[in-house]
Amino acid sequence: MICRSCKYWLIRDQKVYDNDEIIIKWKAPESQGKCTILKVLTEWDFGCKKHEEGGPLVTSEHKSGEPWQHSIKGPCPDCKEPQCGFPECTWQHCPGPDKCIGNPALREGHAGRCMGTGKVNYYDDGFIGENRTCKHPKEIERQKPVVPVCQRCTRTVALDWNMCPFCGQRLREINETEIIDDRLAGVIGG
């Protein structure tokens, strides 16, 4: 009747993704586990009256896609209150991740990773996002480069071309040349 063989003795909580990647949310220290009945860490040889064979317990949650495709909003690490340990904050006076906005987010001219909002994305793979692009580096890496094509003949053209060399289609508007008369500058400004 020891915890090591109990079905209520949790040693790991993990997320499994479609690409077979495993992210461990929580792992017990060596030779310990969390009793889900007593809600405390116990040694492997601790025993109790609620013991049931079938352990140890590893909880697994399946999520579609890849870890970088899943995120939750939380307080900006640059702005949050010093006591906040989001996502597993244990501070008893924590206002919660929805209300945890520290001083830098409220300061005028703040341009940190949250761009003054006090909130950023926390991704399952551990990356903490920023609000300039609101994209994970893997999302940026996987974006296909934009290949410009002519609207008329659908052939590939260069970005700096004004006209398609294959069909003559105008690719962008060409601004008219503006002539400034220096003689009027003295009259208007003066």
Residue 79 banded pLDDT, cuts 50, 70, 90: confident
Whether 14 contacts 58, CB under 8 Å? yes
Q: Which residue has the higher pLDDT, 92 or 137?
A: 137
Alpha-carbon distance 87 to 120, whole Å? 12
Phi-psi region of 96 (alpha: psi -120 to 50; beta: other; left: phi over 0): left
Whether 52 contacts 94, CB under 8 Å? no
Alpha-carbon distance 117 to 111, whole Å? 10
Predicted local distance difference test score (pLDDT) of residue 190: 44
Alpha-carbon distance 12 to 44, whole Å? 14
Predicted local distance difference test score (pLDDT) of residue 124: 92
Alpha-carbon distance 47 to 143, whole Å? 54
DSSP type of residue 128: B
Q: Which residue has the higher pLDDT, 96 or 110?
A: 96
In whole numbers, what is the pLDDT of the chain averaged over residues?
81
